[in-house]
Amino acid sequence: MDTGHTAWLLTCSALVLFMTPGLALFYGGMVRGRNVLAMLMKNYVAMGVVTVTWIVIGYSLAFSGDAGGLGLIGDLEFFALGELGFGTEIGLDDGEGYPDSVFLVFQLMFAIITPALISGAIAERMKFTSWVVFIAIWSIVVYAPMAHWVWGGGFIGSTDGTEIPGVGAIDFAGGLVVHINAGAAALALVLVLGPRLGWRSEIIRPHSLPLTVLGAGILWFGWFGFNAGSALAADGAAANAFLTTQIAAGVAALAWVLSEQVMHGRPTTLGFASGIVAGLVAITPAAGFVSPLWAGVIGLAAGVICFAALQLKFRFNFDDSLDVVAVHMVGGIVGALLLGLFAEAAIGGVDGAFFGAAEQFLRQVISIVIAVVFSFVATYVIAIIIDRTMGLRVSEDEERRGLDITLHEEQGYVLTE
């Protein structure tokens, strides 16, 4: 066992877990005060629900190997942990590795935050019980297969040369698996759920941007575990991913507020916080494959394009309340596409179009189309089924009175003793 790698991955696992509370604050500040607890809770509950689904079956479906050699899904070898080895070593070619349990727990944290990301789209109107059922099903039926396809030996990540004929796309830390997946799912869920009462007719504004800004800072901090940890080793690749992550986030935040300055005449606090997240999303698939300067270009593109993508929901009339589509789906696509141009074999072993391998760009395009279509369609079906059986939405009366008091019998802000 390599104690350095093991220690680093345990640390990164904790960092990635900490992103979900950060995300909860990021989202919680953006809703109205009467829904703040309901928003926090929809994020936090993922830390419970997905821990269970991942341990029971999700990890096995994603990472146990490949059932039938088709590259579609794992088998049940690790069902309820199965024969998972707590002392055996996996991961590295040179035999220097870390325990299976470390990989399981690191991947668990990704499986937790991905459905939590979707919660921003359904803010202020979705039933809590239906949300719990949704993320339990979604983490098994949508997340686990996608993780298998890209990282678990499935058909998106594998190349033609291997046993399973595949797309050969690359995704360092989850552009496809986490962000495009969550963004496309958010779009599907919102289309079934419908807009909030008063959307586009009443003022619906963030109740506490300080919470949001704090949340964005925690996300940035945790994201180093997400991206640098995805090197699955404490080595130069991790260091490169750390550096590219920092650069992309900083440049994207600046690009976002510059865009605001040009379009609206004011740089906003919410804009800077949003730009941070857009940059982090876009660099996620690329962090270990591109050089630091190209990471800056990815950050620049993410800041400008995600800011422009905010208009999509008004143009096509869907209430993606906290802009999960504009930031995560669009940001993820920006990163996954530019990765196909800027990837450099000297950095992460794969060349993109700018370094002589035009086919890598095509592979990225194909992988994005597959991820968007699969996530959208599967999520749409799950949403329809839950809507027809349990109902997705709270009543109009509950929505007007606020979800904190009606769903949880609590208030976020008690203004008297």
Partner 1 sequence: MKMIIAYINPFRLNEIRDALREAGVTGLSAGNIQGFGRQAGHTETYRGAEYEVEFLPKVRIEVLVDDSLAPTVISTIEETARTGSIGDGKIAVLPLEDVVRIRTGERGVDAL
Least distance between partner 1 and beta carbon 324 (Å): 12
The rounded distance, in Å, linking the Cα atoms of 363 and 177 is: 15
Q: Find the Cα–Cα–Cα–Cα dihedral 342, 343, 347, 348, rounded to 10°.
A: 160
The rounded distance, in Å, linking the Cα atoms of 187 and 171 is: 22
The rounded distance, in Å, linking the Cα atoms of 254 and 257 is: 5
Least distance between partner 1 and beta carbon 205 (Å): 6
Category of 265 on φ-ψ map: left (φ > 0), alpha (ψ -120 to 50) or beta: left
The rounded distance, in Å, linking the Cα atoms of 92 and 373 is: 33
Report helix, strand and coil shares of the chain as percent, to nearest 5: 70, 0, 30
Residue 232: Cβ within 10 Å count: 21
Beta carbon nearer to partner 1, 159 or 269: 269
Beta carbon nearer to partner 1, 5 or 32: 32
Footprint on this chain of partner 1 (rule: CB under 8 A): 203, 205-206, 260, 263-264, 266, 268, 270-271, 274, 307, 310-311, 314, 323
Least distance between partner 1 and beta carbon 330 (Å): 13
CB proximity list for 91: less than 8 A, separation 6 or greater:
5, 97, 98, 103, 232, 233
Least distance between partner 1 and beta carbon 326 (Å): 8
- Token readout for 317 is 């009339």
Beta carbon nearer to partner 1, 148 or 179: 179
Beta carbon nearer to partner 1, 193 or 326: 326
Least distance between partner 1 and beta carbon 391 (Å): 29
Residue 393's φ and ψ, nearest 5 degrees, are: -105, 150
The rounded distance, in Å, linking the Cα atoms of 371 and 285 is: 13
CB proximity list for 7: less than 8 A, separation 6 or greater:
234
Beta carbon nearer to partner 1, 29 or 225: 29
Beta carbon nearer to partner 1, 14 or 209: 209
Beta carbon nearer to partner 1, 73 or 310: 310
Least distance between partner 1 and beta carbon 323 (Å): 6
The rounded distance, in Å, linking the Cα atoms of 65 and 67 is: 7
Least distance between partner 1 and beta carbon 319 (Å): 12
